[in-house]
Chain A
Amino acid sequence: MIETEQIEAHLMQRSEPGDQLVFEARLLLEPELHEKMQWQQEAYRMVKLYGRDQLKQEIEAVHQKMFAQNEHLSFSQKIRRLFTNR
């Protein structure tokens, strides 16, 4: 776990300058560490894609709420009129 934490600190540029140097030296000497770092970067990218995907679903649910429920009828009518009276 410490290593994962160190990789994160390095990738997010949060390491102390001294630790940064040591880590960079290790990256050169340890190909496995370098490889781990690359996969970790890929993991962050996946988390971002997952987050974005979930967020889009939440926004779509709000859209449905605004346009499919009577609660917001005057709002939805106001918007729809923009596209029908042309």
Chain B
Amino acid sequence: MPGFKFSNRTAEEREKLFINLYKNAFPTVARYVSKMGGTFDEAKDIFQDTLVIYYEKSVECSVELKTNEKTYLLGIAKHLWLKQYRDSSKLIPLNDLDIESEETTQASDKKVLSFLQTAGKKCMDLLRSFYYDGVQLSDAAELFGFSGVRSATVQKYKCLEKVRETVKQKAMTYEDFVD
């Protein structure tokens, strides 16, 4: 499927995308993991991490993929398998290894995240849409019910300032604990 382009603005659209990717690519990835002696759960973990990478790369580059995504996904999955299961590293549960090492979720991150989730889910969802899903301002304005691009922009920065302040406050609190 050259030039396959998906819409990822809403949870429903993403669900459709992932169901399609599961149907198209999971059999191939599972066959590979099985051949390498892995289990069903390992195939599942590898495939889910593969989907996250695929998703983030697509958003980051905002390019249409030229290759058929089955081949591309299998390539990522093989890379992950070899990286994570080579040698005796089988003892390390997959979930403890993050996709990019510099972005490993620390215990303190988890605390801040869970605080942000409960105290400001609306803001986090808006920011996720802009920065993580790469949704256009005009689309986000519509999705989140703003009157226009301008008010969506204002809200985006207000939320960002709120998160910035929270992150700062929390970091200081944790520093106190460490000291």
Interface size on A, residues (CB 8 A): 37
CA distance in complex: A79, B83 (Å): 23
CA distance in complex: A63, B22 (Å): 8
Interface of A (DSSP majority class): helix
Closest to A62 in B: B18
Binary interface profile of B, 142-179, with partner A (CB < 8 Å = 1, else 0)?
A: 00000000000010011011011101100100000000
CA distance in complex: A8, B112 (Å): 21
Q: Across the interface, which residues of B come within 8 angstroms of A49, CB to CB?
A: 103, 105, 109, 113
Could you tell me if B160 and A46 are in contact, using CB atoms closer than 8 angstroms?
A: no
B154 CB, min distance to chain A CBs, angstroms: 7
Interface size on B, residues (CB 8 A): 46
Q: List 9 tightest A-B contacts by C-beta distance, closest first.
A: A51-B132, A62-B18, A51-B128, A43-B164, A43-B163, A82-B34, A83-B40, A47-B127, A39-B168
20 other A-B residue contacts (CB within 8 Å) besides A62-B18, A75-B23, A79-B26? A1-B158, A42-B171, A43-B167, A44-B131, A47-B131, A48-B103, A49-B105, A50-B124, A50-B127, A51-B133, A55-B132, A59-B48, A62-B15, A62-B19, A66-B23, A79-B27, A79-B43, A80-B40, A82-B34, A83-B40
Residues of chain A touching chain B, judged by Cβ–Cβ distance below 8 Å, are 1, 4-5, 8, 36, 39-40, 42-56, 58-63, 65-66, 75, 78-80, 82-83, 86
